[in-house]
Amino acid sequence: MLLRGKTVVVSGVGAGLGHRIAETVVRDGGNAVLGARTEASLAKSAAEIDPEGRRTAYRVTDITDEVRCEALAALAVERFGGIDAVVHVAAWDSYFGGLEDADFETWQGVLDVNLLGTLRMTRACLPALKERGGSVVLIGTQSAVAAPSQVRQAAYAASKGALTSAMYSLAHELGPYRIRVNTVLPGWMWGPPVQAYVRFAAHTEGVPEAEVLARLTERMALPELATDGDVAEAAVFLASDRARAITGQSLLVNAGELMR
């Protein structure tokens, strides 16, 4: 088991990727400490992942609030004795558009969540991570390194691109404490958000959902989209000791749509 005896903080646990990562942490022997803004989502995920409640804990967390970030980190230490990794899923990804129609006040909000919120949560976990080393795993996006297809999410891409750039500095700063910092960059990822997009596009265009899905998959080297489960596997690998010599790296999980 990759994470036997390890404790992993997972921010942004909802119905999709955050849940999948927490589920994979527990499957691979770890303890998962869940954070999100909605208590009902946290309770549902924890109950599904760990019905007996022995290897999960959760606390309502808004990563734009430093005090709440510190409270989530403190919960991990109180319940399980420390922190070995933190995986950052929490993000604002629902604002669409480009430059010409940009509302820069909203852009600032996106940056506060996706860039500064992630850094707040990381800093809150640092005292515990420093005690025994560990891993910080950032969830980015393929759109941070290549022009997005199908939809425009300039603010999201810019915020995640800034986070990927910050990764390099963090890897050097935290490396002496044996803390690794890496990024997973998903492309089109089959899970609740993309499923909703496919349904919406099919309804709007009056075409079968299979046709919309085919447009997405035709650009892939592999004949199907990566899933949120695939991204979770990559994140858990980077959180584990099997990635002990990997830091400052970005891993595309995208079925080969983009190769770098």
Tokens of 119: 């850094």
Quote the pTM value.
0.93
Tokens of 211: 């046709």
Q: What is the pLDDT of residues 203-239, one digit of tens each?
A: 888 888 888 888 888 889 999 999 999 999 999 999 9
pLDDT band per the 50, 70, 90 thresholds, residue 78: very high
Q: What are phi and psi of 134, to 5 degrees?
A: 160, -150
Q: What is the pLDDT of residues 248-259, one digit of tens each?
A: 999 999 999 888
Is the pLDDT score of 85 beyond 80?
yes
Size of the chain in residues: 260
**Enclosing H/E stretch for 190:** strand 189-190
Do residues 144 and 187 touch, judged by C-beta distance below 8 A? Answer: no
